[in-house]
């Protein structure tokens, strides 16, 4: 991956799980990005202690407060990132923050569905919309370049559970109704962003990280967070215009 790492990244939900591991693996690259904006809801608290420790060690890491469902928080974060970029654009936005709830067709209610939708769909929509000027700026810095992550990209962390085509294979075993609906909507949001921002040179792709051992995935999951993120970064590095608007898994396989 040497020589092909984008200049800047912003990742949501970085205090634990996949977001934190993305930050760690990007920092460990021989050619680490010049600026990594690791965002979380509660910087400076015990919930984000690992991020605080990393930021003391790595000068290219900034920890920024960002509650993805709150427009005021998103706007504040955007202002701070814009300041720290000093006139440059933002190359890669990873909408990673997400939640799950264990609802079925019988137990789901309005509150649960709206709550999960808010974090998993409204959040990525608000964050992408707010950071769009910085993503456009990055794409304009390389107007002749093909669409790829070193130019400008939005990556939405989705799930195979949002695939309508594959739903019947796992729904009865693992209903998570609100989560499935929200990730299906996130896949549609990704495709709409891909079509809409193509003219701006911004690549938009959804990624399924696999079943991963995090607080969300649980200890029985098939992948360690390290394996998943190692795969995801290889996939992101290989993205081209052909991957605009689609859902890929952590190994680069297309999910219908
Ligand atoms: P975790 O539950 O381990 O971590 C979720 C992260 O999202 C936390 O940092 C959490 O912050 C943050 N977050 C949640 N809501 C918000 C919000 N409103 N604003 C800002 N941050 C928020 O999940 P994973 O790391 O496992 O999952 C990351 C992504 O990958 C999610 O989108 C998930 O749907 C997806 N995914 C995960 C799979 C798995 O097996 N683990 C499988 C398929 C997809 P806080 O600590 O403050 O709550």
Picking from 159, 253, 241, 235, the residue whose alpha carbon sits closest to that of residue 197 is 241
pLDDT at 140: 98
Per DSSP, what are the bridge partners of residue 61?
36
In the predicted structure, residue 1 carries a pLDDT above the cut 50: no
The response to whether residue 41 sits with its C-beta less than 6 Å from ligand 1 reads yes
Given a cut of 60, is residue 117 above it in pLDDT? Answer: yes
CATH, residue 105: 3.40.50.720
Residue 32 included in any domain: yes
Strand order from edge to edge, sheet including 203-208:
61-65, 35-40, 8-11, 92-95, 153-157, 203-208, 247-249, 254-255
Q: Is 101 buried (19+), middle (13-18) or exposed (0-12) by CB count in 10 A?
A: middle
pLDDT at position 4 is: 82
What is the tally of structural domains in the chain? 1
Task: Identify whether 3 is part of a domain.
Answer: no
Please report whether residue 16 resides in a domain: yes
Residues 6 or more apart from 252 whose CB is under 8 A from it? 231, 234, 235, 238
Q: Is the CB of 123 under 6 A from ligand 1?
A: yes
Is residue 2 in a domain?
Answer: no
- Residue 123: inside a domain: yes
Q: What values do phi and psi take at 5, rounded to 5? A: -85, 130
142 token code pair = 């390389």
pLDDT of residue 156: 99
Residue range 182-195: average pLDDT? Answer: 98
Q: Quick check: 38 pLDDT over 60?
A: yes
Give dist(CA 239, CA 256) in Å, integer.
17
pLDDT tens digits, residue range 49-60? 999 999 999 999
Mean pLDDT of 184-203: 98
For the chain, how many residues are written?
256
Whole-angstrom Cα distance, residue 91 to residue 104? 39
> Over 90: is that where the pLDDT of 12 sits?
yes
Whether pTM exceeds 0.95:
yes
Mutation test residue for ligand 1: of 99, 178, 219, 250, the one with most atoms within 8 Å of CB: 99
Does the pLDDT of residue 2 top 90, yes or no?
A: no
The number of the ligand 1 atom at minimal distance from the alpha carbon of 48 is 46
């Amino acid at each position: 991956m040497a020589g092909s790492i984008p200049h800047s990244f912003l990742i949501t939900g970085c205090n634990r799980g996949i977001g934190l591991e993305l930050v760690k693996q990007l920092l460990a690259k021989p050619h680490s990005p010049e600026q990594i904006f690791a965002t979380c809801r509660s910087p400076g608290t015990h919930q984000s202690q690992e991020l605080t420790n990393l930021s003391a060690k790595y000068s290219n890491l900034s920890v920024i407060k960002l509650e993805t469902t709150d427009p005021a928080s998103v706007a504040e974060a955007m202002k701070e990132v814009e300041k720290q970029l000093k006139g440059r654009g933002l190359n890669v936005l990873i909408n990673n923050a997400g939640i799950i709830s264990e609802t079925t067709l019988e137990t789901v209610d309005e509150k649960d569905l709206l709550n999960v939708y808010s974090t998993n769909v409204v959040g990525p929509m608000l964050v992408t919309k707010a950071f769009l000027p910085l993503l456009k700026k990055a794409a304009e810095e390389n107007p002749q370049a093909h669409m790829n992550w070193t130019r400008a990209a939005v990556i939405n962390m989705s799930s195979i559970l949002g695939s309508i085509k594959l739903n019947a294979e796992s729904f009865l075993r693992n209903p998570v109704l609100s989560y499935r609906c929200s990730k299906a909507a996130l896949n549609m949001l990704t495709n709409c962003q891909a079509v809409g921002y193509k003219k701006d040179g911004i690549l938009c792709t959804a990624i399924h990280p696999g079943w991963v051992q995090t607080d969300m995935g649980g200890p029985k999951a098939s992948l360690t967070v390290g394996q998943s993120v190692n795969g995801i970064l290889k996939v992101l590095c290989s993205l081209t215009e052909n991957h605009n608007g689609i859902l890929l898994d952590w190994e680069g396989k297309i999910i219908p």
